[in-house]
Amino acid sequence: MLKGLAWIDRMLGEVLKPVVFAGMAGLTAVITLQIVSRLFFTSVSWTEEVARFLLIWITFIGATLAWQQGRHIAVTLLRDNLPPTLRRITSGVAILVAIVFLLTLAKIGWQYMNMQSFQKSPSLRLKMTYVYAVMPAAALVMAGLSAIDLIRLLAGQPLRETHVEMDETLEHDLAPEDRT
């Protein structure tokens, strides 16, 4: 079961990376079009709206990717200085608090999404439900990832480590005297 959950965790990261990249590339292209059209032509009306919607989606999907990689800010000074048993208990409580928060965010996001369901965007005439759907979806995915972490913790497995791909690349590029 743990291998299956680890596979889901990894695959989710592999799916989210290109989605965030595509969103950033799209945002860059739309903003570039907006600037060029304002300077040289008549302003393209839909670019500001698309940029805003892409930013909302990139924010939530990027936060989910950061959650999956263990890259969100965490103050672990107290936890790291506790004995192993208390460290695991503290980590478990922190994961439970995160799950409750994320499920609450998903519920509120769902309610907000439904509240905005009658509204359409001014330029694209896109239902705002599609814009705000990312909030409950991202919160549910992060809650699921937290549940995987809790199962891993209860099974005696080590906690999710921060994603070290970038850190290893950085360390490889440093001169030997600069490495710590």
Q: How many domains does the chain have?
A: 1
User: Is 69 domain-assigned?
Assistant: yes
Nearest partner of 63 among 111, 97, 102, judged by Cα = 102
pLDDT exceeding 90 applies to what percent of the chain?
A: 68
User: Is 151 domain-assigned?
Assistant: yes
For residue 161, the model assigns a pLDDT of: 62
Q: Tell me whether residue 146 is exposed, middle or buried, using C-beta atoms within 10 angstroms of its C-beta: 0 to 12, 13 to 18, 19 or more.
A: buried
* Cβ-contact 19, 64 below 8 angstroms: no
User: Is 178 domain-assigned?
Assistant: no
For residue 138, the model assigns a pLDDT of: 97
pTM of the model: 0.84
For residue 44, the model assigns a pLDDT of: 87
* Cβ-contact 77, 46 below 8 angstroms: no
Q: Which domain holds residue 25?
A: 2-161
Q: Determine how many CB atoms are found less than 10 A away from the CB of residue 3.
A: 7
User: Is 66 domain-assigned?
Assistant: yes
For residue 117, the model assigns a pLDDT of: 87
- Write out the two tokens for 140: 């549910």
For the chain, residues with pLDDT lower than 50 are 164, 166
